[in-house]
Structure 1
Amino acid sequence: MTLLATAISDVLEDLKRRRDIDPLAGLLNHRGFDAKAADILTDWKSASISAVVFDIDHFKNINDTFGHHVGDKVPPEMAHIVSCTLRGSGIAGRTGGEEFVVLLRNSNRYSAFELAERLRATLESKTFHCLSGRQVTASFGIAVRRGEEPLSMLLARADELLYTAKSQGQNRTCGDHPLN
């Protein structure tokens, strides 16, 4: 019985992991990110929390030019850059084809901006061999949580700032305070 219970527990954990992890990027998917973020916001009540929302610029053009089989190689590279940059200071997810989100603990507008700029610069300096040596850029929006603001509002503010960055020429970071 103990062996059966252990086996069932392992299968359930594997199913949950498959449900919550994006298979292409290896980061949390939209559902997994929302669930993990809800838990974290409860645990981090007294911490300063920032959201960084970003997406790859001109991703549709990449897919149209090189095909989806090549375009699908870009998000895993972005996910790798995000994972290496975060190193446990928050959680990250891929919430859409070229869209990513990071939730940072103990992060004010300066540290969130610094992280976003590090991600942006790292991505911009990378050469993508699958894209015939071309580079890829991303645009970022940053919002710092106001009090016990719900996750949906925090992400909506960061998303709005992402679109501000895109409208200002892309490959830039915009925050909810004048840093840039």
Structure 2
Amino acid sequence: MLKTGIFGGSFNPIHKAHLAIANYLCEFAGLDELWFLVSPQNPLKQQEELLPDAFRLQLVQTAIRNHPKLKASDFEFALPRPSYTINTLDALKAAYPNREFYLIIGGDNWVNFHRWYQSERVIEENKIIIYPRPGFVIDEATLPQTVTLSDAPVMDISSTYIRNAIKEGKDVSSFLHPEVYRLLVDYLHASS
């Protein structure tokens, strides 16, 4: 069974913290692969700032081009919306029975996990790896058996910060893969 991390999110856009965490989990947490599962709609987030689905997928594909253990996935694009994690995990297990999936979430998401649709079932039926986020302390002793706390590096970069900085004309190229930065700047300037 291939150990496959599922790192879901809007990746609006994907940035170097996403890549560093994914790389760390593949190299130090025993994952064979990690899939960036680009989500078309997060039920807990506002949609007005969301870049088009295909463009966000293109940015992920561009960012991971030279990382063989990382994959870009549009799996959720064909699922009913909103895309609830439990439905995605059920569909992934049915489509890829030869893989063992690990849901990857940040400490900020774990704090609000009780708000997720069928969160108890997600915990009972799936393995979860939590990576640290600044300002969110997780007590490892309180975690269910299916949940692991990763010691991945703490990184404080947000996609919202990057989009806003670019709109303000700031150079935040060091936060993004160079080609992702170029594509994003071109897109944001063309659409403003």
Shorter-chain TM-score category? under 0.3
TM-score, length-normalised on structure 2? 0.26
Bigger Rg, structure 1 or 2: 1
